Amino acid sequence: MPRLPLIGVTACTKQIGHHAFHIAGDKYLRAAAIAGTPLIIPALGELFDQTTLLDSLDGLLLTGSPSNVEPHHYQGPASAAGTPHDPMRDRTTLPLIRAAVAAGVPLFGICRGYQEMNVAYGGSLYQKVHEVGRYEDHRESPDDPVEVQYGVRHPLHVQPGGLLERCGLPARIEVNSVHGQGVERLGAGLRIEALAPDGLIEAFSVEDARTFALGVQWHPEWQVHRHPHYLALFEAFAQACRERAGQR
């Protein structure tokens, strides 16, 4: 009987009382389980060997997070006071992304993970999309219940001939919108896969990847089994992970 693929899921760091913890959101772990057995990757930076880690994985899921990528990684201006950051996560994920693609590990980045992918490929980020005149406010209301925050907010225009189309997505789908930052300059070697109505890039793929390598700005992990288009992405990721597991 073939073994289940092993899916690495990135963790954030969190101070609880006097101690630091490594945490990953339940909704990401449950969605990763569509592809195989989830394994939380601690944000330990250089304390583990990336090659050994990637040799053990059949897929890598980069999660969303309350924190933002520190702007010095993309030569951006200093963040506003009080902006949450997670330097250890940056030190773990940013080098891991291109190494995963080079190693042929299927890669799926969501929200912060999507932004990390863009930065890893030399792109930059808007730190406050709602303050850029041509874009809408893509943030959720903090006063709304979580079901409303993650409810469908706007249409998404899927670009023809790309990975999303090959995953079976139609030219237009409806997605949630729970983010304050977004792609400013697209990283080298990334292909635009979908746009919001205001023109903000909402998804891209890695052009030279040997397998599934996709980043999305929205949250397809949220109630994934209730949204066929969200589920289609995880099923495509799962198929790529099974193929890698079968080759090893």
Could you list the active site residues? 111, 219, 221
> Phi-psi region for residue 62, left (φ > 0), alpha (ψ -120 to 50) or beta?
beta
Contact 46, 91 (CB under 8 A): yes
User: CA torsion 36→51→119→224, rounded to 10°?
Assistant: 0
CA gyration radius for the chain?
17
Q: Are strands 154-158 and 19-23 parallel, antiparallel or unpaired?
A: unpaired
